[in-house]
């Protein structure tokens, strides 16, 4: 059996430096949606192709948004909540993007407005972690019954974080609100097992950031852009996380 060790890989920078973005993958590509460039709220969307290590612009989201969450379900990308303006007015908007048709569709709203959360999908359900003002909460949405439920809370409460699914686990990265560092940013990388309802700690981020998103393709989780200090800022950093394949016994139930 081949054992893969955890590692981070530097990749091509994004076209528009930005923070507080939504990130998801579909059809083997990574998409970043909206975000902040200084005080400007963006609606532009970029598509990244890992095969060519290149970015391009695609159809913009219908309304400018930052701090939104994103998840992919049945080949479509869902963009959830966030803030509409630079003054951080929370919204409950939910949009679905069809990458094949390059078309956006507005859907039913969240049960309550929130920004700076993270989202991921497993087995036909969408999970939303943390964010403001809830910070620690993990929610699950079942589209079959149109209902949200609360699950085991994250070990590290935070907002401005990112989430992605790999090997049936939800990985949650970074975020802001860290009182123990000057930057105010978390390096934490924690994962949730939807079957056992437990969390565990993973290899910390190589460059702690907030205002990020994450997307999994071919055994790697891509984490582009974001900011290295709490508050406003941008970066063109684009890392990929590769989980190890060794079995673990450690689990934390909250």
- Would you say residue 128 lies in a domain? yes
- Would you say residue 252 lies in a domain? no
Q: What is the pLDDT of residue 246?
A: 54
How many domains does the chain divide into?
Answer: 1
First vs last Cα of the chain: how many Å apart? 33
Q: What is the pLDDT of residue 245?
A: 63
Q: What is the pTM for the complete model shown?
A: 0.74
Neighbours of 219 (CB within 10 A): 12
- Would you say residue 253 lies in a domain? no
Main-chain phi, psi angles of 35, to 5 degrees: 110, -175
- Would you say residue 22 lies in a domain? yes
Residue range of the domain that includes 90: 7-242
Side-chain-facing half-sphere of 2: CA atoms under 13 Å:
1
Residue 28: exposure state from Cβ atoms within 10 A (0-12, 13-18, ≥19): exposed
CATH number at 111 reads 2.120.10.80
Q: What is the pLDDT of residue 249?
A: 44
Mean pLDDT, contiguous 10-residue spans, the chain (254 residues): 80 92 91 94 97 98 93 90 90 91 89 87 91 84 80 92 91 94 95 93 94 86 92 86 66 39
- Would you say residue 247 lies in a domain? no
Q: How far apart are CA 215 and CA 32, in angstroms?
A: 9
- Would you say residue 250 lies in a domain? no
Q: How far apart are CA 211 and CA 232, in angstroms?
A: 9
CB proximity list for 100: less than 8 A, separation 6 or greater = 27, 75
Q: What is the pLDDT of residue 44?
A: 98
């Amino acid at each position: 059996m081949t054992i893969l060790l955890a590692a981070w890989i530097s990749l091509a920078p994004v076209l528009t430096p930005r923070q507080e973005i939504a990130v998801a993958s579909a059809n083997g590509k990574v998409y970043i949606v909206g975000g902040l460039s200084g005080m400007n709220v963006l609606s532009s969307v970029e598509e990244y192709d890992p095969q060519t290590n290149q970015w391009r612009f695609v159809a913009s989201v219908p309304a400018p948004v930052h701090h939104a969450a994103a998840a992919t379900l049945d080949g479509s990308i869902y963009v959830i909540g966030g803030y509409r303006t630079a003054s951080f007015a929370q919204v409950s908007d939910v949009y679905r993007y069809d990458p094949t048709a390059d078309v956006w569709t507005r859907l039913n709203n969240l049960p309550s407005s929130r920004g700076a959360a993270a989202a991921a999908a497993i087995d036909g359900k969408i999970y939303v972690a943390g964010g403001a003002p809830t910070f620690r909460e993990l929610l699950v949405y079942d589209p079959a019954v149109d209902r949200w439920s609360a699950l085991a809370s994250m070990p590290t409460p935070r907002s401005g974080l990112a989430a992605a699914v790999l090997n049936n686990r939800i990985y949650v990265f970074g975020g802001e609100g860290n009182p123990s560092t000057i930057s105010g940013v978390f390096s934490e990388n924690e994962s949730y097992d939807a079957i056992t309802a437990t969390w565990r700690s993973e290899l910390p981020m190589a460059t702690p950031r907030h205002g990020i998103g994450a997307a999994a393709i071919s055994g790697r989780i891509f984490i582009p852009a974001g900011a290295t200090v709490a508050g406003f800022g941008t970066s063109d950093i684009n890392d990929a996380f590769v989980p190890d394949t060794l079995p673990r016994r450690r689990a934390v139930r909250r």
